[in-house]
Amino acid sequence: MTNDQSPMTNLQIFLDIATEAALAAGVILQDFLGKVEDAITEKGRPGDLVTAADKASEKVILEILRRHFPQHSILAEESGKLGNQDNEYLWAIDPLDGTTNYAHQYPCFAVSIGLFINGVPQIGVIYDPFRDELFRAAAGLGATRNRRPIKVSQTAELNKSLLTTGFAYDRRETADNNYAEFCHLTHLTQGVRRGGSAALDLAYVACGRVDAYWERGIAPWDVAAGVILLQEAGGKVTAYDGTTFKIESGRILATNGYIHNSLSQELMQVTPLPDR
């Protein structure tokens, strides 16, 4: 990469390499699908699974990113922190978002690759190999699904909206879960879906299939790609209370923008369920 390239040119290069990595990982996930029954383990918490497919997918992503960007830092779900973490470029990788689904051959999983530049999401690629859907975005360059522009929905009323969410792996042990929120919002909307892949949840908000997504207990690699995808598609991402989203917080509210304030207000007034 030469110094005379414009920032937009650099972002396009980053986007293209991330796409190469996501597509290569997707091939691996397709190859492993239905063949991992004897290679599934838990990572310390019930339901937090890892398979041979996760590891193989992450390996090919790391190989491609390191070949093109050897100085960049990486945060990968299976390998953790790699490289110089003080570097301004940080790749956040989820090689298989929706591992539990994948292990059961439930068709809701994806590869997610995001790039932070000085702590700000700038590149996002999410690839669903089962449906062959490729979601891409770069700051200032728009968002696409299979190379065609996407936009968020225009649903402006909560009672006409369709939402999606997820439940953290530690939901059995902590009262800090979103069960009460799920029940509350189910009664206020046309429905709440639980797909099991945060990356696809954000992609679906970005392309207008659902109107909003919220969750707690998420990791940076879960949403790194989806945040910039949604923003470039015209959506809004904040903390639950509407303040600036902080990826290390583990909580996210992502919407089409039109129902953002009303959904935030509802989330803030929900009383958590009591401990069992």
- DSSP letter string, 212-257: EEEEES--HHHHHHHHHHHHHTT-EEE-TTSSB--GGGSEEEEE-S
The answer to whether 86 is annotated as binding is no
The answer to whether 62 is annotated as binding is no
The answer to whether 132 is annotated as binding is no
The answer to whether 31 is annotated as binding is no
Question: Residue 257 and residue 5: Cα distance in Å, rounded?
Answer: 34
Question: Residue 114 and residue 27: Cα distance in Å, rounded?
Answer: 19
Radius of gyration, CA atoms only, the chain: 18
The angle formed by the CA atoms of residues 139, 30 and 54, to the nearest 5 degrees, is 70
- As a dihedral over the C-alpha atoms of residue 60, residue 63, residue 65, residue 67, rounded to 10 degrees, the angle is -150
Q: Which residue, chain included where needed, has tokens 């414009």?
A: 6
The answer to whether 202 is annotated as binding is no
Residue 198 exposure: Cα atoms within 13 Å on the Cβ side: 28
Question: Residue 126 and residue 211: Cα distance in Å, rounded?
Answer: 18
Task: Look at residues 138, 127, 146 and name the one whose alpha carbon lies nearest to residue 6.
Answer: 138
Residue 238 exposure: Cα atoms within 13 Å on the Cβ side: 17
Q: Which residues are annotated as a binding site for Mg(2+)?
A: 77, 94, 96-97, 222
Q: Which residues are annotated as a binding site?
A: 77, 94, 96-97, 222
